[in-house]
Amino acid sequence: MAIEVRIPTILRTYTGGAKVVEGAGSTLGELIKNLDAAHAGIGDRLLDGEKLRRFVNVYKNDEDVRFLGGLETPVADGDTVTVLPAVAGGN
């Protein structure tokens, strides 16, 4: 078993169109590093230096990782990680 990662439409150019990919790692940070190794460039769309980008939402199962520990959030086989670009704007 692996970690299931759900990819939003806007990032599917990095996954060859795949809506769901598999990943591995013991923390979210590791998972993203491994994802980037398999799908070059995706890491940069999720991270701003050493932090998650402000307007990208990442969820472990049903929880926003911002409330779980950010990139330090532990992940394990069987978890689902969902990436959704935040919908935001302003005048």
Residues contributing to the site for another protein (CB under 8 A): 8-10, 55, 57, 59, 62, 64, 66, 82, 84-91
Q: Which residues, in sequence order, are CB contacts of 24 under 8 Å at separation 6+? A: 2, 3, 30, 31, 34
Please answer whether residues 1 and 17 qualify as being in contact, where contact means their C-beta atoms are separated by less than 8 angstroms: no
Which of 8/70 has CB closer to another protein?
8
Neighbours of 70 (CB within 10 A): 15
Closest to 8 (Cα-Cα) out of 20, 25, 16:
20
Q: How far is the CB of 66 from another protein (least distance, A)?
A: 8
Which of 6/33 has CB closer to another protein?
6
Q: How far is the CB of 5 from another protein (least distance, A)?
A: 14
Which of 21/26 has CB closer to another protein?
21
Q: How far is the CB of 54 from another protein (least distance, A)?
A: 10
